[in-house]
Every structure is written in C-alpha cells, then in structure tokens.
Amino acid sequence: MRTRRFGRLGLMVSELSLGTWGLSGDAYGPVYEQELERIVELALELGVTLFETADVYGGGAMEKLLGDTLDPRTTQVVTKLGTVRDEPARKCFDAAYLKDALARSRDRLKRETIDVVLLHNPGVETLREGDAIPFLREEQHAGRIVGWGVSAGSAEVAKAALDQSADVLELAYNLFAAKTLHELTDRIAQTDTAVLARSVLAHGLLVGHWSPNKTFFPHDHRSRRWTPEALKYRISQLQVVRQMVGGEVLTMRAAALRFVLSNQIVSSAVLGVRSQTQLRQLVRELGEREDYLPDEVLVALPEWLRQASVEL
C-alpha cells in the first residue's frame, strides 16, 4: 500500500482509506455483524492506515468498532460531526453541541487526540458566520484534534472551507463528478490542503454491473439518488469507462479508482466497501505500479468524456 502526504498536517496516510458509511447499514442496508470487524482487520492487513467515519454512522457503532479495533499509534481516523439523528435528521453546528459530540466521539474511538474532525455537510453560512470553526480551532490548539476540515456537498461549500483555511477537504470525486475538484486544484495546491476523495465509484455505478432497468431496495439510498431515467442515462455513459479497460487495467472499477489516484492532489481515496471480497478486489486490481493509467488513456480521456457529455 502506497502512502501520501496528508496536506500541511504532515501525516503520512495510505492512498486508500476505509469508509464506514456502507458498513453501518445506513446507506445500503444491513451488513452481517460478524463481517464488520473482519473487514477492518483485512484493511489493516492490506496496509490501510486511514479510516473515515462519522459520529452518526450506525448510531455511533462505527466509531466504537474503530475504537475497539485500531491502534492509535499506527492508524489515523477522520470523523465527522454536525448531524443529529432526529426524525427527520437535521444539522447542528453550534459550538456547545459540537463540544459534547466530540467528547462522545473521543470516548468511542478511544483516542485522547482525534486525527481529523470534519464538519458534516454544513452550509456556507455555517462556515462564514457560525461558531463551529472557532470551536474546532480551539480544540486543535488544545491538542484534542490534529486537524479540522469540511465534508463538502457543493462547490460553494468547498470554496468557503478553503476561505476559512480548512486543513482537510472531503469531496465527491470520480469520473462523473470531477469538476469541483478540478476547479479548485490550484487553490488546494497553494494552501497545501489535504483532500479526501469520496464516492470514487459513484455508489457502485462505475463498477459497470448494472442493467439499464436496475432497481434498488427502499432502504438503499440509491433508490432516491437517481430517477429511473437519470440512471439509464448514466449507465449509457459508462462506455467511457469501458474504453479505459485494457492491459493492467483489469476492470471498470479498477479504471475508475485509478482515475482518482492519478490525480496527485488527492491525499486518499475513500473506499465504501461492504465485504472483504470487494476490498480485496479493489486493492489487488489497483496493482503496484504508480502509473495508474497509461499515458494514451490520460490524453484521450477528456475527449471521451466530452463525447459522453461528462464534464471533466
């Protein structure tokens, strides 16, 4: 497992990180409980050192799983705060709430110092006018967190996070959602901000296994993410990914993951696996060479995406 520098925080992290939303049961439905610890342990065996979670994933169960399994001396944890699991769920970024939430996260993670705390999909106003960022800066100064940042759901939020000098920016980044990161690359490089790339396989779309009539169970978030017409259109665009397969690029999922890691501005790609098999496949197919995609593919890719009406 190769490592990358985690922005100006100076940490060295694995280029692949394990995300826990898919493991929590909140995203795609239940995962066998006995499988959860095995997946985390397998990630460690494969060289993963960075783990991404949130205080609400599984009602705190994912933080507890990581706290029970990981050695703080050899691993890093990124957790997210600011979501309240009421009915319906809501956001809360008041300093008083964040203080209590952070204390609970530290207890579950069994860490006196958490490596990175992100605000969990805040709005622009929260970053510009609220007391969340002053609170995180105080916690960083006190040594209770190493760095802080924002999990951004839009380009506007990402830009506001950079305006506030966030240490870490988490963004959706994949072949079909690359525009925001590409637009911000110069600023990210200038400020030496760490980048966590999430949704690297577009929630399974880029694996290329779905038929145009694919349907999802009601408890699967993807049942609400695309209309049937939008999903059919996205699946029709997958020819771009098929064109990337060949030579050492063995599958469409490998091509999609290699695209993300070809961008050196990315500090780590968050894998949302739900089984040991999925994790093994992705790590194996990534290979050991650092030239993730052939030069001829990188040169041709912008035109292929343009032809498929995908903005790069």
Contacts from 90-97 at CB under 8 Å and sequence distance 24+? 91/120, 91/121, 91/122, 91/123, 91/126, 93/119, 93/122, 93/126, 93/130, 93/132, 94/130, 94/131, 94/132, 95/131, 95/132, 95/134, 95/135
Q: Token digits for 238?
A: 């997958």
Q: Which domain holds residue 192?
A: 3-205+263-291
**Encoded amino acid at 258, one letter:** R
Give average pLDDT by consecutive 10-residue segment, the chain, 312 residues: 96 97 90 91 98 96 97 97 86 96 98 97 95 97 97 97 98 96 97 98 96 92 93 95 95 97 97 96 91 94 93 74
Whether 35 is in a domain gets the answer yes
Whether 236 is in a domain gets the answer no
pTM (predicted TM-score):
0.96
Whether 223 is in a domain gets the answer no
The strand pairing partners of 195, in sequence order, are: 169
pLDDT at residue 71, rounded to an integer? 97
Residue 224 exposed, middle or buried by CB count within 10 Å (0-12, 13-18, 19+): exposed
pLDDT at residue 85, rounded to an integer? 83
Whether 226 is in a domain gets the answer no
Whether 275 is in a domain gets the answer yes
Whether 301 is in a domain gets the answer no
pLDDT at residue 253, rounded to an integer? 97
Q: Using CA atoms, how far apart are residues 62 and 54, in angstroms rounded to an integer?
A: 8
Quick one: CA torsion of 255, 259, 262, 264, rounded to 10 degrees?
-150
With tokens 């990124």, the residue in question is: 78
**CATH number for 125:** 3.20.20.100
pLDDT at residue 126, rounded to an integer? 96
- Number of domain units in the chain: 1
Task: Look at phi and psi of residue 143 and say left if phi exceeds 0, alpha if psi is from -120 to 50, else beta.
Answer: left
Closest CA to 39 of 71, 4, 2, 66: 66
Whether 201 is in a domain gets the answer yes
The dihedral through the CA atoms of 105, 110, 113, 118 has a sign that is negative
Whether 312 is in a domain gets the answer no
